Amino acid sequence: MRKALYILSQLDDRDVEWMANAGTRRSLTAGEVIITAGKQVESLYIVLDGKISVGVKDIGEIARLDAGEILGEISFVDSTPPYSTVTALMDSNVLELPRATIEKQLETEAGFAGRFYKALAIFLADRLRNTVSHLGYGNEEGLDADTSMGDELDDNLLDNVSLAGDRFDRLLRQLQGERI
């Protein structure tokens, strides 16, 4: 659920409520492709439950994702078709947020836009750090006490982890029709 923590830690409760109301709960069957490599992504997805596979041609599966993960965020930022194909490994549910709907909210709600893009920037910066670390760049000097490990959460994010988890739970309850 790490991606959701990055995103939800920066958004406020109204943003999460907006996402629940603006999005559509979509059921996926095992084997269903939700994002196809080379094909424009028209929505951002939040995995609500189930298991999702991310695969790259000639490499195979590069990740397995579950509840709380976000799909299509890179293509949302730069509008470039993805390099990977994303497939449901089992029956799963996602919240689908159409690009046009998000873009309209970004244009009309400056506060939301700032929080949303900050959340994406924090997440993508963490992903880049982890990729660089995984590839071994800069490891010649070894690790010291001030160096964070690739799987650690940033201290500033940790302050909001509980709040972000509560927001994800409220999002799920709202999508299930419960009064929050």
Structural domain that includes position 88: 2-175
Q: What is the CATH number of the domain that holds 127?
A: 2.60.120.10
Predicted pLDDT of residue 168:
78
More confident residue, 137 or 119: 119
In this predicted structure, the answer to whether residue 143 has a pLDDT above a threshold of 70 is no
Predicted pLDDT of residue 148:
45
Predicted pLDDT of residue 144:
40
Q: Which amino acid is at 126?
A: D
pLDDT digits (tens, 9 = 90+) for 10-61: 889 899 899 999 999 999 999 999 999 999 999 999 999 999 999 999 999 9
pLDDT digits (tens, 9 = 90+) for 80-136: 899 999 999 999 999 999 999 999 999 999 999 999 999 888 888 877 887 787 676
Q: Is residue 36 one of the residues assigned to a domain? A: yes
Name the maximum alpha-carbon separation found in the chain.
54
Residue written as token pair 């940790």 = 158
Predicted pLDDT of residue 160:
67
Q: Is residue 180 one of the residues assigned to a domain? A: no
- DSSP for 16-31, please give it: HHHHHHHSEEEEE-TT
- Tally of domains in the chain: 1
Q: Give Cβ neighbours of residue 22 (< 8 Å, ≥ 6 apart).
A: 97, 101, 102, 105
In this predicted structure, the answer to whether residue 73 has a pLDDT above a threshold of 50 is yes
Predicted pLDDT of residue 158:
58
Q: Is residue 121 one of the residues assigned to a domain? A: yes
Signed CA dihedral, 57, 62, 67, 69: sign only: negative
Least confident segment among 121-125, 145-149, 151-155: 145-149
- 176 — pLDDT class (breaks 50, 70, 90): confident
Predicted pLDDT of residue 100:
96
Helix axes 2-10, 110-135, angle to 10 degrees: 150
Say if residues 9 and 164 touch (Cβ distance below 8 Å).
Answer: yes
In this predicted structure, the answer to whether residue 147 has a pLDDT above a threshold of 50 is no
> How does DSSP classify residue 37?
T
Predicted pLDDT of residue 156:
57
More confident residue, 113 or 137: 113
